[in-house]
Chains A and B, each alone.
Chain A
Amino acid sequence: MAEDNTASHTILVVGGGMSGLTAAVEAAEVGYDVILVEKNPYLGGRVAQINQYFPKLCTPSCGLEINFQRIRNNPRISTYTMAEVTHIAGEEGNFTVTVRQNPRHVNEKCTACGVCAEACTTEIDDPFNFDLSKVKAIRKPHMMAYPLRYVMDPEFAKSDAAKMLAEKCPVKAIEPDMEAKQIDIPVSSIVWSTGWTPFDASKIHAYGFGHYQNVSTNMHFERIANKYGPTGGKIVRPSDGKEVKNIAFIQCAGSRDHNYLPYCSRVCCLASMKQATYVRNQYPDAKVTIYYIDLRAMDRYEAFQKKVETDENITWIKSKPASLEENPNTKDPIVIGEDTLTGERYATPYDMVVLATGMETNTALNAKVPAKFVSYDEYGFIVNQGNGLTASGCSTAPLDVASAVQSSTAAALKAIQTVVKG
């Protein structure tokens, strides 16, 4: 690559989920400098929270580990975790971005020995498990976290206990006084891959999420089924720890609904089919019911649906349930609606109900790009304009991992084109 003293050749990638990781390594491996900015204390995004991913049902480590290794081995990539872009100035080929990095309170000397966490007596809700379990106030962000470095809760950092813990660290990695940093970075082009947030199920009043203990969501269920999740991977219901032998999944919970998200989130049908296999593998006698408007196994995933359909313990009911109620004695959620193939009304109790909530793009929430650099569609996804800022993955549409990776490889190429144009 030709050196040029006036303009930066660096590519900024915002968001370190599957999409951002892909864009970063694809660009760096062909010789471009990349700065990767991630809001969480770890890379991997939502995929890191998934138990197994369709269609092959491998663990997320199979896709993530390889990318972490590529990053670790590539000096062209600089990673900032716990960081966000707060300002963008300039234009294609010549941007200046302001990055704010929040204090981790643990520096790069950390060897992840865990002495601090063992000594720490304060616990907080574990955000990685959607607050369904507790974790120490100084912790490894999650079991396979990369970078493998501990992080301290910012509130706890203000306490005397934090100062005492700092003394315990054998390599002096703990810094309760660490402050936020702000850095201006010149870059040539930007890839925006800030991903998605699960739709807030408590907004769907008729389904009672948050009021009925045994009504959960699909992302919570990924954690419930995971061995590092709140129940150690045992699929039991929240109210009484009972094994879940009769479970219902409700599709389009908040998606394809003009009251909530009007669009199809595209992965939740497949996610429920996949989660049905979690239950069926754990309990050979368990019964699963999937309530749907119509099943959407997008793109090339129909074979997966066909496979799941061979399980006779899975019942498919063509109906969007109207509402949920709860039996006050047993805490069984009751699903109420009309079976549209028979016209019959039903009110059926289950041990547990999982709401297949969809994806809301973070570009419609807290990862907005100033409008002068991008255009948005009516739902807040970015429509690329080819002006030096390219969105990828779930910043452009609700996508599965494979499609997010494709879109991010394309974004890397767009970014490189900007750099080459100079």
Chain B
Amino acid sequence: MAYDLSFAKDVYENAEEGHWIKMCMQCGVCAGSCPLGPHWEFSPRQLFQMIRAGKAEEVLKSESMWMCVSCYHCMVRCPRGLPITHIVHGLARFAVEKKRADKDQVTRRFAKILWENMERGGRIGEMALTTKLYMVNGIPDGVKKGMEMKDQAMSMLKSGRLKMDPLHLSRIRGHAGFKAMLKKAREIEQKKRES
């Protein structure tokens, strides 16, 4: 049976740090180092092997690369020096770009909400973020969760750990510059993609 290398090549060239996957020697250190190890469907080692074996759908539809908590254990230990954490995040993004990632994947949803919140004010608006996250599974569920946490929220408000800003109106100083920076970064990304 001939191998179809087209998917592997696509990943090597177009996924963030994807070219490193060629270097993996399948030793298993990454899998054994991951605190979430047993909960992944595929370990990093397995993902890398599946990429090399051309299993495009299985990889792109997998939840595995969304499980990484960025603890960097695998990355510091990998004997071949693969930037595994970055590769795994890169694969998640690659799956989004290929329109294969599940829209309801919880990490993906969380990441999106977090990012939008951060982009709005230039820093996290905790109150708005928490409210939004509580409501992801519908308003009744969100209200219930909010009530459960109300004492904690009150004491955080009192001690100044939580700012009263339910509409998320606060902005960092130099917010315009921050926006310009993001715009520029996106342009650079876009150019990289086109070349």
Which residues from chain A sit less than 8 Å from chain B, CB to CB? 206, 252, 256-259, 293, 318-323, 336-340, 343, 345
Contact (Cβ within 8 A) B31 A345: yes
Total CB contacts across the A-B interface at under 8 A: 63
Could you say which residues of chain A place their CB within 8 Å of the CB of B80? 258
A-B complex: 8 closest residue pairs judged by Cβ atoms: A322-B32, A337-B32, A338-B31, A257-B79, A320-B27, A338-B28, A258-B81, A322-B33
- Chain A nearest CB from B37 CB (Å) reads 5
Contact (Cβ within 8 A) B43 A338: yes
- Chain B nearest CB from A216 CB (Å) reads 21
Could you say which residues of chain B place their CB within 8 Å of the CB of A293? 25-27
Contact (Cβ within 8 A) B33 A340: no
Q: Which of A206, A252, A320, A343 contacts B43 (CB 8 A)?
A: A343
- Contact residues of B: prevailing secondary structure: helix
**A/B interface sample: 9 pairs, CB < 8 A:** A256-B25, A256-B79, A258-B80, A320-B28, A321-B29, A338-B32, A340-B26, A340-B28, A343-B31
Given contacts A321-B29, A322-B28, 14 further A-B contacts (CB under 8 A): A252-B27, A252-B79, A258-B80, A259-B81, A319-B32, A322-B33, A323-B32, A338-B28, A338-B37, A338-B43, A338-B45, A339-B28, A340-B28, A343-B42
Could you say which residues of chain B place their CB within 8 Å of the CB of A252? 27, 79
Number of residues on chain B facing chain A (CB within 8 A)? 20
Q: Which of B17-71 contact A (CB under 8 A)?
A: 25-33, 37-38, 42-43, 45-46
Measured CB to CB, the nearest residue on chain A to B46 is: A343
Alpha-carbon distance between A256 and B29 when the two chains are bound, in angstroms: 13
Known: A256-B79, A343-B43, A345-B38. A337 touches B31 (CB 8 A): yes
Could you say which residues of chain B place their CB within 8 Å of the CB of A337? 28-29, 31-32
Q: Which of B108-147 contact A (CB under 8 A)?
A: none
Is B99 interfacial (CB-CB < 8 Å)? Answer: no
Alpha-carbon distance between A319 and B46 when the two chains are bound, in angstroms: 13
Could you say which residues of chain A place their CB within 8 Å of the CB of B81? 258-259
Is B161 interfacial (CB-CB < 8 Å)? Answer: no
Measured CB to CB, the nearest residue on chain B to A339 is: B28
- Chain B nearest CB from A356 CB (Å) reads 14
Measured CB to CB, the nearest residue on chain A to B26 is: A340
Could you say which residues of chain A place their CB within 8 Å of the CB of B183? none
Contact (Cβ within 8 A) A319 B28: yes
Contact (Cβ within 8 A) A320 B79: yes
Could you say which residues of chain B place their CB within 8 Å of the CB of A336? 32
Contact (Cβ within 8 A) B28 A206: no
The interface bits of chain B over 70-108 (1 if a CB of A lies within 8 angstroms of the residue's CB, else 0) are 000000110111000000000000000000000000000
Could you say which residues of chain B place their CB within 8 Å of the CB of A340? 26-28, 31, 45
Could you say which residues of chain B place their CB within 8 Å of the CB of A256? 25, 79
Could you say which residues of chain B place their CB within 8 Å of the CB of A338? 28, 31-32, 37, 43, 45
- Chain A nearest CB from B102 CB (Å) reads 22
Could you say which residues of chain A place their CB within 8 Å of the CB of B26? 293, 340
Contact (Cβ within 8 A) A258 B31: no
Contact (Cβ within 8 A) B32 A321: yes
Alpha-carbon distance between A336 and B26 when the two chains are bound, in angstroms: 16
Q: Which of B169-186 contact A (CB under 8 A)?
A: none
Known: A256-B79, A258-B81, A338-B37. A320 touches B29 (CB 8 A): yes
Could you say which residues of chain A place their CB within 8 Å of the CB of B32? 319-323, 336-338, 345
Contact (Cβ within 8 A) A323 B79: no
Alpha-carbon distance between A323 and B38 when the two chains are bound, in angstroms: 15
- Chain B nearest CB from A294 CB (Å) reads 8
Could you say which residues of chain B place their CB within 8 Å of the CB of A259? 76-77, 79, 81
* Most chain B CB within a 10 A radius of its CB, from A320, A336, A337, A338: A338
Alpha-carbon distance between A340 and B48 when the two chains are bound, in angstroms: 12
Could you say which residues of chain B place their CB within 8 Å of the CB of A345? 31-32, 37-38
